[in-house]
Structure 1
Amino acid sequence: MGPMARNSRSDGGGGKGVVAAARRPEVRLPPLVPYDGEGLEPDGDYDGVRFEGVDLADGAGPGARFMDCALEGCGLDRTKLVRARFIDSVLTGVRGVGTDLAGASLRDVEVVDARLGGVQLHGAVLERVHVRGGKIDYLNLRKARLTDVVFEGCVLSEPDFGDAQLVRVEFRDCVLKRADFSSARMDAVDLRTAAELDIARGVERLAGAVISPLQLMELAPAFAAQIGVRVEA
């Protein structure tokens, strides 16, 4: 098992003010028009559209652009949205397995109560994104760039942040299970209020992150092993 730490609700030795807070999205949707149901299109342009309860399983919209859109209760099983762009949009209660968002761009986006598995976001760019509630299994963020991203009150099971760049990223009341931070680069990443912090790989890549005193104690064996220190009674 990898090292695991639980939330201590402590501000840490340096105080909360030393960590730059993530800037959150401020999405204000205009009046929306219902989706016409004609299917996703490659490089499609969706502006001010409400997708409500739409099953987009096995759909393909590579390069599509979603601006000022709402996706509510939509099915995204195996939906191909490679290099898609989501701007000033809200995704609520979306669900699916194998959604392909490789190389996608999410800017000023809220993701609420998602139930997803095997989501491909490798090489994606996330800027001012708030993921709140829900559960995401096997989230692939390898080589992604995350700036001003907040994971709050959600469960991330075996997320892969390998070789990703994280700047001003917060994990608030968020459960991280078997996380992989191999070769990740961090700047102002706040893990202190994570409800559970279970790191399978890459504990040595936490430079640039802030953790709580209790988390430090529980991760100490992993840190010691990383530098070759044996701890014996």
Structure 2
Amino acid sequence: MREARRPQLSLPELRPYAGEGLAPDGDYDGLAFDGLDLAGEDGSGATFLDCRLARCGLDGTVLGGARLIDSVLEEVRGVGIRLAGAELRDVEVRDARLGGVQLHGARLSRVLVRGGKVEFLNARQARLTDVVFEGCVLVEPDFGGAVLERVAFRDCALRRAELGQVTLKDVDLRGATELEIATGVDRLAGAVITPSQLLDLAPALAAQLGVRVAA
């Protein structure tokens, strides 16, 4: 199994963002967004290069088709963030509290999600390459139809994950402290799990195969 590559970030000295809100197709380079309320702002198609978003409110923020490159999102919070079709490359997400994130059709490469909690993540049809979920809680993430390659879950709770039609390659689930699969247990080819995780998944696997288990 090939291990996921982590982002190698070294942010330059950042300038405080002095603008008002976000703009569609905006170009943000070397900026620090600290403690801002960006709820409901429209940054669709924007590019964030060498940026830090720290302690920002992102309720309903629109970032569809945006590009986040060599950037950090730290202690951001929000519900209903729209990142459909976005690109995240060499990005760290630290201690975030997010819900209902719309990430369908997005492309993630060398992304680290560390700490925090993400509920009801919609990553359908997304492509995740070299992505690490570490020390976080994922509640009912939906990876339906997504492609996951070199993805690792380390010290991470994965609760009621939707894996219908997912494609896995070099996906390491051994570090998941909780592993609950709501649908798609038959799609685990390409992943590695521990013997104890296999025992936990045995009832779901038996049901998928139509096997009756009786004493």
The TM-score bracket by the shorter chain reads: over 0.9
1:128 equivalent in alignment to 2:120: no
Once the two structures are superposed, what CA deviation does each residue of 1:83-129 show, in whole Å capped at 9, x if it has no partner? Answer: 00000000000000000000000000000000000000000000000
State how far apart, in whole Å, the 1-side matches of 2:46 and 2:185 are.
36
Q: State whether structure 2 residue 112 is matched by structure 1 residue 104.
A: no
Aligned partner of residue 116 in structure 1, secondary structure: strand
Matched residue type, 1:224: A
Equivalent positions of 1:114-153 (< 5 A) are 114-153=96-135
For 1:49 and 1:29, the matched residues in 2 are separated by 10
1:58 corresponds in structure 2 to: 40
Task: Identify unmatched segments of 5+ residues in structure 2.
Answer: none
Quote the residue 1:208 is aligned against: 190
Provide TM-score, normalisation by structure 1: 0.91
Deviation at 1:37, TM superposition (A): 2.9
- In 2, distance between residues paired with 1:180 and 1:37? 39
TM-aligned CA deviation for residue 82 of structure 1: 0.5
**Which structure is higher in strand share?**
2
* 5+ long unaligned stretches in structure 1: 1-18
Instruction: Count residues with an aligned counterpart.
Output: 215
Partners in 2 of 1:223 and 1:158 — Cα distance? Answer: 19
Percent identity between matched residues is: 67
Distance in structure 2 (CA, Å) of the matches to 1:53 and 1:132: 20
2:15 is the counterpart of 1:33: yes
Task: Pick which of 223-232 and 166-175 moved more.
Answer: 223-232
TM-score (norm 2): 0.99
Is the deviation greater in 153-162 or in 30-39?
Answer: 30-39
1:231 & 1:69 partners in 2: Cα distance?
Answer: 54
- Following superposition, the deviation at residue 222 of structure 1 comes to 1.0
In structure 1, distance between residues paired with 2:209 and 2:117: 34
Looking at structure 2, the residues matched to 69 and 113 of structure 1 have their Cα atoms a distance apart, in angstroms, of: 17
Q: CA separation in 1, counterparts of 2:58 and 2:91?
A: 17
Write out aligned runs for 1:1-233 (5 A): 19-233=1-215
Question: C-alpha deviations, 1:188-223, integer Å up to 9, x for none?
Answer: 000011010011111001000000000011111111
| Letter matched to residue 153 of structure 1 | G
Q: Distance in 2 between matches of 1:66 and 1:159?
A: 25
**Equivalent-residue separation in structure 2 for 1:158 and 1:225 (angstroms):** 21
**Paired amino acid for 1:79:** T
| C-alpha distance in structure 2 between counterparts of 1:42 and 1:230, whole Å | 55
Q: Which has the higher contact order (CA 8 A, sep 6+)?
A: 1
Q: What is the RMSD of the two structures over their aligned residues, measured on CA atoms?
A: 0.6
